[in-house]
């Protein structure tokens, strides 16, 4: 029997090609990248000792660089196992859990009708293109020219114009022998409340919408008149077109992402013109939903093209709300190696604005600062309130717990839970530390918020580990003093370096944004700094502009004290005068120490908790083992402190001033 393209596409999309081929080959662990759906093996079609056989889930294709064989799911089974095509289809359908279609004369008829409808859509596209070049299309041509589009771009996207007439397209198609029923089935004419049908699109710039097979299946129309009821109008739902299952520019973007230019990612923007302007600027891997919020099906389409698409939204209130809706939409469906990132444009700007005058560079900088999904959710919740009471902190913790619970993948959900606990601990811990622990009556908590200072309400100073407190020298080190009101020197270095050299954000944004400061003051400063930097992304991100915004928010005194603290310690690379190369190196050294000391501190806390529990259980052997481990952690902390003392001052670096690099 003959299978419809719709059925074949469906079962191919449901079954990764690696699942089909993986039953017959052993993947090479060194070259294979499972999260990216990129697999290598020794070719099953010819004998070889080194893997030259490659398959990609995103493309649904395989290719051997040794013998040259290439194909898709069905070709692999027919060529390797000698199956007939229907047998190969049956096997893939079984893997997909999709029943084989029953021979249906009506389905064959509908498939033929769909093919004829595609022919009608192609005729309409050519009609609109021709109309754009006539005298009637002069205003539309002027609009596109004012938007900066070249003739080549207009031709690439097959833009057109629908005349301001109720029957221009209808008469043209009728002259080609197209039936009224076909026009209506394509959504090209309508007859609302009137007996005679008329053109759906009138006096609009026309954007053809293509299927994954690059056939025109629908149109979007941008009104030329300001009095039009809708600025943008899409085709209605038809046999060919289901709006929530289609992305504008899907096939072209997928092709670009698979090449070098796209670097494997896909960018989802908000509208047709954003996609077209980006393409003209050299960013060819952008798609857009069709006038509505992103749907689950569209998100699945993005993940078929790339494991980590970037969702790009305007930086205004509406854009941020749309980004938050997309975050909630994506969260239940993320998996290992499958997530989304968020890029927020400067307030009042869209991609077209960014690239029209300065090319793609400003947009590329926005993309480089895209936030992970976890950061997006955390920022939204933390920025929506203050947490100066136990009740407010408990409410935040409950909200985050509820949000994370919707993640269906167990491993990813567990890591998100841990990530949110770490963030909460970083946000709240300074308050716990000042809540009375100095008198030995407070308590500490693990990542789940449980009291591990002793059971039955007993305080930790009654446990045998009380005499193993950190030494005075360790207490004065960067590891401990971050808990005090005055920021620790290392944390001050991290903050001051970025304030004085904000362009480092472009290269190190993810790590910089994720720094978990112990100092409450630095937490406030960091939140304000990231917000100010996001608002002035691009070449305008200067030290002077950043300082101005931070001082307006009341951080002038803190910034002066941090600068003085760094200068007193003669940490040259954190100052404004340091060359960018030295500032970057000094920052990386300080950040590495910060991460290591934080890890040691939490390891120490966990060991003390375990010792307290083992003491109550009376397990002497376990207590002895844990005590030895705790001593090792404390010795490592001292070694780290000594290492920091060597690095402090950064005497190994050149101390170059700005502009002297390479001289």
Q: What does the pLDDT look like over 5-22, one tens digit per residue?
A: 778 888 988 899 999 999
What confidence score (pLDDT) does residue 502 get?
83
What confidence score (pLDDT) does residue 536 get?
59
Q: What mean pLDDT is predicted for residues 571-589?
A: 81
Of the two residues 136 and 658, the one the predictor is more confident about is: 136
Give the three-class secondary structure for 201.
Answer: coil
Contact 340, 324 (CB under 8 A): no
Instruction: Note the helical H segments in 331-385.
Output: 351-358, 361-368, 373-382
Most confident of 507-516, 589-598, 651-660: 589-598
What confidence score (pLDDT) does residue 68 get?
86
The number of beta carbons lying within 10 Å of the beta carbon of residue 147 is: 15
The number of beta carbons lying within 10 Å of the beta carbon of residue 398 is: 10
Tokens of 20: 């089909």
| In the chain, % of residues over pLDDT 90 | 33
Q: Where are the domains of the chain?
A: 5-96, 105-241, 250-379, 479-647
Residue 98 has pLDDT above 80, yes or no: yes
Q: pLDDT, tens digit, for every residue of 207-254?
A: 999 988 789 999 999 999 988 888 899 999 998 898 888 999 998 998
Instruction: Please report which confidence band the pLDDT of residue 112 belongs to, taking 50, 70 and 90 as the band edges.
Output: low
- Across the chain, mean pLDDT equals 80
Helix (H) or strand (E) holding 313: strand 310-313
Helix axes 520-535, 410-433, angle to 10 degrees: 120
Closest CA to 252 of 330, 184, 153: 153
Residues 6+ apart with CB under 8 A from 532: 546, 549, 550, 553
Range of weakest confidence among 371-380, 427-436, 519-528:
427-436
What confidence score (pLDDT) does residue 434 get?
43
Q: pLDDT, tens digit, for every residue of 271-286?
A: 899 999 999 999 999 9
Specify the DSSP class assigned to residue 359.
T
Closest CA to 454 of 470, 465, 468: 465
Closest CA to 541 of 560, 549, 356, 375: 549
DSSP bridge pairs for 198? 190
Tokens of 536: 């002035």
Q: How many residues does the chain have?
A: 663
Residues 6+ apart with CB under 8 A from 375: 513, 514
DSSP bridge pairs for 248? 288
| In the chain, % of residues over pLDDT 70 | 81
Most confident of 13-27, 156-170, 192-206, 418-432: 156-170
CATH number of the structural domain 250-379: 3.40.1360.10
Nearest 5°: phi and psi at 63? -155, 135
What confidence score (pLDDT) does residue 35 get?
80
Nearest 5°: phi and psi at 234? -100, 160
Closest CA to 1 of 114, 115, 113, 100: 100
What confidence score (pLDDT) does residue 189 get?
93
What confidence score (pLDDT) does residue 522 get?
84
Specify the DSSP class assigned to residue 295.
P
What confidence score (pLDDT) does residue 109 get?
59
User: What CATH class has 5-96?
Assistant: alpha beta
Instruction: Please report which confidence band the pLDDT of residue 347 belongs to, taking 50, 70 and 90 as the band edges.
Output: confident
Greatest CA separation for the chain? 97
Instruction: Please report which confidence band the pLDDT of residue 658 belongs to, taking 50, 70 and 90 as the band edges.
Output: low
Q: What mean pLDDT is predicted for residues 191-198?
A: 80
Of the two residues 102 and 544, the one the predictor is more confident about is: 544
Q: What mean pLDDT is predicted for residues 335-356?
A: 87
Alpha carbon of 112 to those of 89, 236, 459, 510, 566: distances in Å?
21, 21, 79, 52, 76
For domain 105-241, give the fold. DNA primase DNAg catalytic core, N-terminal domain (3.90.980)
| Edge-first strand listing for the sheet containing 53-56 | 38-41, 53-56, 61-64, 70-71
Q: pLDDT, tens digit, for every residue of 49-87?
A: 888 999 998 888 999 988 888 999 999 998 888 788 888
- Quote the CA–CA distance of 19 and 38 in Å, as a whole number: 12
Instruction: Please report which confidence band the pLDDT of residue 652 belongs to, taking 50, 70 and 90 as the band edges.
Output: very low
Contact 628, 636 (CB under 8 A): no
| Edge-first strand listing for the sheet containing 232-234 | 160-162, 204-210, 216-223, 232-234
Instruction: Please report which confidence band the pLDDT of residue 535 belongs to, taking 50, 70 and 90 as the band edges.
Output: low
> 127 exposed, middle or buried (CB, 10 Å; 0-12, 13-18, 19+)?
buried
Q: pLDDT, tens digit, for every residue of 126-173?
A: 999 999 999 999 999 999 999 999 999 999 999 999 999 999 999 999
Q: What mean pLDDT is predicted for residues 496-500?
A: 86
DSSP bridge pairs for 338? 335
């Amino acid at each position: 029997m003959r299978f419809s393209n719709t059925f074949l596409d469906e079962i191919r999309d449901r079954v990764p090609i690696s699942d089909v081929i993986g039953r017959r080959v052993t993947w090479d662990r060194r070259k294979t990248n499972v999260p990216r759906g990129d697999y290598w093996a020794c070719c099953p079609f010819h004998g070889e000792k080194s893997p030259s056989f490659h398959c990609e889930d995103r493309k649904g294709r395989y290719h051997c660089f040794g013998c040259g064989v290439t194909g898709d799911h069905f070709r692999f089974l027919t060529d390797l196992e000698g199956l007939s095509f229907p047998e190969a289809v049956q096997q893939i359908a079984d893997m997909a859990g999709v029943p084989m279609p029953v021979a249906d004369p009506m389905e064959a008829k509908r498939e033929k009708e769909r093919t004829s409808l595609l022919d009608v859509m192609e005729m309409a596209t050519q009609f609109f293109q021709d109309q754009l070049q006539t005298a009637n299309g002069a205003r539309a041509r002027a609009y596109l020219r004012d938007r900066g589009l070249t003739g080549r771009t207009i031709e690439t996207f097959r833009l057109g114009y629908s005349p301001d007439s109720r029957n221009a397209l209808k008469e043209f198609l009728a002259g080609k022998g197209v039936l009224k029923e076909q026009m209506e089935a394509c959504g090209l004419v309508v007859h609302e409340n009137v007996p005679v049908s008329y053109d759906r699109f009138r006096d609009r710039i026309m954007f053809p919408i293509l299927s994954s097979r690059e056939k025109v299946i629908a149109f979007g129309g941008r009104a030329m008149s300001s009095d039009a009821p809708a600025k943008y109008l899409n085709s209605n739902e038809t046999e060919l077109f289901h709006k929530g299952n289609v992305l504008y520019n899907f096939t072209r973007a997928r092709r670009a992402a698979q090449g070098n230019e796209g670097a494997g990612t896909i960018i989802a923007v908000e509208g047709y013109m954003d996609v077209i302007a980006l393409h003209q600027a050299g960013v060819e891997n952008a798609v857009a939903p069709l006038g509505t919020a992103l749907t689950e099906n569209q998100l699945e389409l993005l993940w078929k093209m790339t494991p980590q698409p970037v969702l790009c939204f305007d930086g205004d209130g509406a854009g941020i709300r749309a980004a938050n809706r997309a975050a909630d939409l994506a969260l239940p469906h993320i998996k290992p190696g499958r997530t989304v990132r968020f890029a927020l444009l400067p307030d009042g700007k869209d991609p077209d604005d960014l690239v029209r005058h300065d090319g793609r560079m400003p947009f590329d900088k926005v993309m480089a600062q895209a936030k992970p999904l976890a950061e997006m959710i955390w920022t939204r919740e933390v920025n929506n309130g203050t947490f100066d009471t136990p009740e407010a902190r408990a409410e935040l913790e409950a909200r985050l717990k509820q949000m994370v619970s919707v993640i269906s993948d167990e491993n990813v959900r567990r890591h998100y839970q841990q990530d949110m606990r770490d963030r909460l601990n970083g946000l709240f811990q300074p308050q716990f530390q000042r809540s009375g622990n100095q008198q030995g009556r407070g308590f500490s908590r693990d990542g789940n918020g449980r009291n591990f200072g002793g059971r039955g309400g007993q305080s930790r100073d009654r446990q045998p580990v009380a005499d193993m407190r950190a030494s005075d020298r360790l207490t004065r080190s960067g590891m401990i003093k971050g808990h005090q009101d005055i920021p620790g020197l290392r944390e001050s270095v991290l903050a001051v370096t970025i304030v004085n050299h904000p362009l480092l954000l472009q290269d190190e944004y993810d790590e910089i944004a994720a720094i978990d400061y112990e100092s409450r003051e630095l937490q406030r400063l960091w939140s304000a700094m990231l917000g100010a930097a996001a608002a002035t992304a691009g070449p305008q991100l200067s030290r002077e502009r950043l300082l101005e915004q931070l001082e307006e928010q009341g951080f002038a005194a803190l910034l002066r004290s941090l600068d003085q603290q760094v200068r007193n310690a003669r940490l040259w690379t954190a100052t404004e005068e340091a060359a960018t190369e030295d500032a970057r190196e000094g920052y990386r050294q300080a950040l590495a120490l910060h991460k290591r000391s934080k890890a040691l501190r939490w390891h120490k806390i966990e060991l003390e908790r375990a010792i307290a529990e083992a003491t109550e259980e009376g397990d002497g052997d376990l207590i002895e083992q844990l005590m030895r481990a705790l001593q090792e952690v404390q010795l490592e902390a001292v070694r780290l402190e000594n290492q920091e003392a060597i690095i402090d001052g950064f005497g190994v670096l050149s101390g170059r001033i700005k502009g002297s690099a390479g001289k």
